[in-house]
A and B are shown apart, each in its own frame.
Chain A
């Protein structure tokens, strides 16, 4: 059991369409995060959650929204996808602030 799973693993979508990425954990960790990875930028934080219905913006949150209605699920939504949102998206979980993250396997999203 991986403890954290992301779906889908790959997705191609058209500009202007809504897209939702799902992150599911079985570890009961409090903290959940969405990052995007782009060449030359490392990983940049989009949104994060520190509890059910408690979320906050990261450094690249424009064009993205999130929801966490249950401890185990953290959804990332692109309301109207743009080509600049083509990226690899990672979900991560953490039990406490002094711990490292456990990452999902990533979602490669291509917006055409």
Chain B
């Protein structure tokens, strides 16, 4: 079964600085998708960024970018110019490309942004 590991339970960053959240996963599949979700104190789960495994180019969404290392099965999230509103739990997730498959989540990283 696929597993997702986030080895950093908590991280902190100074406002306007850059922070990288780590994620590794275990799979024997070649077709899959990776995601980062943000969960602010409101509890709402918000999709931050998505990466297709067949694409070598790293996904980018404004201040958020990923470093996707397929061979190493690593999928880290970089947040540039951190803002107070970035403070949240961040979850890394894996989804198989097979039909009828669900999404597997890591345990999460709590990010604190210091003013």
Contacts and interface: CB of A to CB of B under 8 A. Distances in A.
Contact of A105 (B9, B43, B50, B105): B43
A70 interface: no
A42 B105 contact: yes
Interface stretch (A11-19, A76-84, A93-101): A93-101
B99 A97 contact: yes
A56 interface: yes
Interface in B42-61: 43-45, 47, 50, 52
Contacts of B107: 40-42
Contacts of A92: 45, 103
B95 A97 contact: yes
B47 A100 contact: yes
B98 interface: yes
Contacts of B100: 31, 50, 56, 97
Interface string A23-35: 0000000010101
B45 A103 contact: yes
Contacts of B98: 97
Cβ-closest 9 pairs across A and B: A103-B45, A42-B105, A43-B105, A42-B107, A50-B100, A100-B47, A106-B43, A45-B102, A100-B35
Given A40-B9, A40-B107, A92-B103, 14 more contacts: A33-B102, A42-B6, A42-B105, A42-B108, A44-B105, A58-B102, A90-B45, A97-B97, A97-B101, A98-B95, A98-B97, A101-B47, A103-B44, A105-B43
